[in-house]
Amino acid sequence: MTRQERRDPNVSRRALVQGLAVGAAAAATGVGGALAQNAPAPVGPPTTITSPPRDFSPRGAPTTYFWDPDIIAVDPSFNDLAQPNTSIKRLYTGLLWAEGPAWSSQGRYLLWSDIPNNRQMRWSEDDGHVSVFRMPSNYSNGNSFDFQGRQLSCEHLTRRVTRYENDGTATVLADSYNGKRLNSPNDIVAHPDGSYWFTDPPYGGQLYEGEPDAA
């Protein structure tokens, strides 16, 4: 067969080059598409929503993980503060607005504030019973216990920080600063040196549980 016989008279050199270019582009597109499909999806922020949603009530199934998957620490240093083999459990529901949980190591109970209902609630570890602990509570918000086991409460209505002594009496720790009433004490913690540290933001006085100053 001669060279002239092998050449297709219907295919020009320009058409051949154009065909090769189109094939190369299609191959590149196919490779790019494959790479795009294999590329990892963007990593989003951690979420506290379990899929499917968990039942946190006592009827819910216990977690099979050594570390509860719904406990997420933004700062890794907090991982040392959590108990790994304990799962999240809902102790009580039906409150309007709960805040200020505090654990009594002496009484073995959990205390918190039900602010709109002007009361404090208590969950007992021995039988899981929840009851009203103190009512009225002067619309208390944050609670804590000092190193002597005495309860500390920040009260919005009276705009003061109160310590409940072991004999049941109440001691007002602070209700003013520089001759002016506190705003709405919110959270409190005891220091080993015997002092108490608390916050005093202004927003509590603007709500129904506060007692704002006269205009």
Domain residue ranges of the chain, discontinuous segments joined by +: 52-90, 96-206
For 100, residues 6+ apart whose C-beta sits below 8 A from its C-beta are: 111, 112, 113, 140, 141, 142, 143, 153, 154, 187
For 129, residues 6+ apart whose C-beta sits below 8 A from its C-beta are: 123
The pLDDT score that the predictor gives to residue 6 is: 45
Distances (CA, A) of 214 to 8, 111, 175, 205: 101, 33, 17, 11
Distances (CA, A) of 59 to 91, 121, 178, 209: 11, 22, 52, 35
The pLDDT score that the predictor gives to residue 202 is: 85
The pLDDT score that the predictor gives to residue 164 is: 97
Q: Where would I find the beta strands (DSSP E) of the chain?
A: 98-104, 109-114, 119-124, 130-134, 140-145, 151-155, 160-164, 170-174, 176-177, 180-181, 188-190, 196-198
Model pTM score: 0.67
For the domain spanning 96-206, the CATH number is 2.120.10.30
The secondary structure of residue 67, as a DSSP letter, is S
The pLDDT score that the predictor gives to residue 128 is: 93
From first to last of its 215 residues, the chain has per-residue pLDDT tens of 444 444 444 555 555 445 555 555 555 455 455 444 566 666 666 666 677 777 888 777 766 557 777 888 889 888 888 777 777 889 999 898 899 999 999 999 999 999 999 999 999 999 999 999 999 999 999 999 999 999 999 999 999 999 999 998 999 999 999 999 999 999 999 999 999 999 999 876 666 677 777 76
Residue 50: count of CB within 10 angstroms of its CB: 13
